């Protein structure tokens, strides 16, 4: 049977599309970080590389950081 006559796997196509969109977004973020690094005249290649590798990171909000006051590091010693 020819591949043209097989039924289309829409779930697989959707997953491939989502992966491609994520990869494209990461590429754009890294490219923008490269341009920013060049504009800022970063002193070393290591600094440039760190800026590019951290391009996808976002700062934390207060809601993201939760303190655990009542938690003991040793649950057996109460």
Q: What is the pLDDT of residue 1?
A: 62
Instruction: Give the containing element (helix H, strand E) for 39.
Output: helix 10-40
Quick one: which of 61, 33, 62 has its CA closest to 49?
A: 33
Q: What is the pLDDT of residue 67?
A: 65
Model pTM score: 0.66
With a cut of 80, say whether residue 71 has pLDDT above it. no
More confident residue, 28 or 71: 28
Quick one: which of 53, 2, 6 has its CA closest to 30?
A: 53
């Amino acid at each position: 049977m020819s591949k043209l006559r097989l039924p289309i796997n829409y779930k697989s196509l959707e997953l491939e599309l989502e992966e491609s969109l994520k990869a494209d977004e990461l590429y754009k973020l890294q490219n923008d970080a490269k341009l920013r690094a060049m504009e800022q005249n970063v002193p070393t290649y290591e600094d440039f590389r760190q800026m590019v590798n951290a391009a996808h990171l976002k700062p934390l909000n207060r809601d993201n950081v939760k303190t655990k006051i009542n938690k003991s590091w040793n649950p057996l010693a109460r």
